[in-house]
Structures are given as C-alpha cells and as structure tokens.
C-alpha cells in the first residue's frame, strides 16, 4: 500500500471540558488550560467545540480561558425537529459567541441534518451570519455525500458562502465514509477533519466488551453521551478487531494508539494537500500528550500491520455506523 509522508493538521476537541454533568471529564479551568498549553507547545492552534457539548458548559468554560492566538470552531446541532430553523441557527451561533466571549469563530458547522426545515431556509440564515462577520468558514458535519453536494450547489446558485470543510467520523475500524464522501469532497474542494480517530477509546485497547466502565466516561451506559457512543462502538466486532490488531502490533512494539494515528496520517484516504486534519480528544493531560506524541513521531506502518488493519475492517464493516445522520435517527426520539 502506498503512503504519504506529510503530517496532518491537528485540532483539539474540547467536548470533555465543562462543569459537572453533560459528559464533561475536564471540570476545572486549570485542568483545561494544562491541556491547551500542552497542545500549544506542539505547535497547534485550532480548537473544536459545539453549542451542544456538556449541555452548553464547554463553551462557557472556554470563554473563561486564555485562548489568545488560538482559533475556535463551533457547531449548531438540531436538538429537535426544526432545530435548523433560521431563527434557531442564528440564536445558536450568537449563544456560542456570548459564551465564548468572542466576536466571531473560525468555522461554523451545521452539526447534523434537520429534515423538518428546508435547507434553503437554513442556508440563507447561515449566509446572513457570514455577512455579519460572525464566522470565517462554513462547515458541514454528519451529512451524506448527496446532501453535501446539494448544499454546495444551493449556496453557489444563491451566491452564499459555500462549505469548505467537512467534519466526519473516520478511523481504521470505521471506514464507511470512504465509499462516496471523499470523492464528493475532492470534486467540491472541501477539506476533511476526522473525529473519533480512536473509536472513542475502544481502539486504545483500554476496554473489554464485558468489562466495567468508569462512571461519567465516554462509554458510561447511564449517561446520554455514553449511550450514543456504545451504540456506535461498543460492539463485539470492534473488540474482536482490536484483539487481532494487538497481535499484529506486538512483534513491532507498536501501541494501538500509535497505529491508529499512523494509519490516518500515512495510509488513509485523508490528504495533507487538501488541508485535512485530525481531531484529538482531551479527557486528561496524559491522554492528550500521548496523542500529540503519537502524531508528532509517527511513521508509515509495516506491511503486515496494514494487512491486519484491513482484516480488522473486514470484521467491523457490517456493524460500523453510517458516517451520516440518517432521517430515522434525526426524526426519531432523542
């Protein structure tokens, strides 16, 4: 398999920042600043958040931190039918800016489709916010390739700001996105940011299928976020694939984390030249530094490890979640 020798842009995902509850793991300003300062030391400057994260508390905490010299991306998620109604889109971004104590953000994403609101109405509101200088770049997340294409050409036809970045779920064990989306992004010159590079933590090898999980953690079955992540990754096929990968890594002294990031950087469908990036989590300072080290010092993987990764994808392929939010998901109970 061919490989690339460029390194991807790195974005710090701040979803775990916030007060008690709402899925927050980093609950103090001091803890968040330790992570952000470590991120800075590695030469990175992009932070990712969303209005929905930690029930809004992520952005409140970020607004209390010293983020000079860093860019912030945020997202509007349709929590209910009609959640991307023009008024809701506008209020979401204005609420984000107020919490963040910023006049504008770098990227403003539509976080997922709203099948109850005509997309033309949503895009008009997005463009009005852009014209007001509330954000610099328009992005999409969790949309299907055909929806991305439709949105792009509606924007072109209307003279609106077009989407130029897409944030999507992509890792060595979850590759459904490769089937159609990357061709779409290539055609429309839209760059890609990958979230969940470690399958929410399953790809670190820290969990077992029947094992207990820490209360409040990513896979806590009693938390809203935990339920969503278990639906996505807590599957026998994923744990079986992790065991296969462990055996392939052992002779080379490679950690699963290193392999996961090396695959994305050097062997996946991501492109340095397109401006693609990898979003890393921030559940603790140690985990953040471990991820940054893996990205900083990665290199192309041995051939037998790549073959094992392809076998792992064969194992998880049928159970892997779709890369986009379906109409059934978005129209059903939340």
Query: Catalytic pick from 3, 42, 53, 152?
Result: 53
Residue 9 phi/psi, 5-degree rounding, is -65, 145
Report the C-alpha gap between 14 and 32 in whole angstroms.
9
CB 39 within 8 A of CB 59: no
Phi, psi of 301 (to 5 degrees): -85, 155
Q: Is 53 a catalytic residue?
A: yes
Task: Report how far apart, in Å, the C-alpha atoms of 215 and of each of 20, 21, 220, 226 are.
Answer: 12, 11, 6, 10
State the catalytic residues. 53
């Amino acid at each position: 398999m061919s490989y690339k020798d460029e390194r991807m842009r790195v974005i710090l995902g701040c979803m775990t920042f916030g007060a008690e509850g709402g899925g927050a793991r980093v609950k103090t300003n001091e803890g968040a600043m330790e992570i952000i300062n470590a991120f800075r030391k590695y030469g990175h400057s992009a932070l990712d958040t969303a209005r929905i994260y930690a029930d809004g508390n992520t952005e409140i905490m970020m607004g209390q931190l010293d983020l000079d010299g860093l860019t912030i991306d945020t997202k509007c998620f349709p929590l209910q039918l009609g959640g991307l109604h023009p008024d809701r889109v506008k209020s979401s971004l204005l609420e984000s800016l107020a919490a963040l104590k910023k006049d504008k953000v770098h990227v403003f994403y539509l976080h997922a489709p709203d099948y109850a609101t005509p997309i033309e109405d949503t895009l008009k509101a997005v463009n009005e916010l852009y014209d007001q200088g509330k954000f610099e770049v328009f992005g999409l997340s969790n949309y299907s390739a055909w929806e991305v294409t439709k949105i792009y050409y509606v924007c072109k036809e209307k003279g609106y700001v077009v989407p130029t970045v897409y944030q999507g779920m992509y890792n060595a064990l979850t590759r459904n996105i490769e089937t159609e989306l990357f061709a779409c992004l290539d055609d429309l010159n839209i760059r890609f940011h990958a979230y969940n590079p470690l399958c929410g933590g399953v790809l670190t090898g820290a969990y077992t299928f029947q094992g207990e999980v820490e209360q409040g953690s990513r896979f806590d079955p009693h938390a809203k976020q935990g339920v969503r992540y278990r639906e996505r990754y807590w599957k026998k096929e994923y744990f079986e694939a992790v065991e296969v990968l462990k055996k392939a890594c052992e002779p080379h002294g490679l950690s699963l984390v290193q392999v996961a990031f090396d695959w994305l950087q050097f062997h996946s469908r991501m492109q340095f030249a397109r401006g693609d990036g990898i979003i890393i989590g921030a559940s603790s300072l140690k985990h953040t530094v471990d991820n940054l080290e893996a990205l900083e010092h990665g290199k192309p993987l041995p051939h037998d490890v790549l073959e094992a990764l392809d076998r792992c994808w064969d194992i998880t392929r049928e159970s892997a979640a779709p890369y986009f939010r379906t109409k059934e998901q978005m129209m059903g109970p939340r």
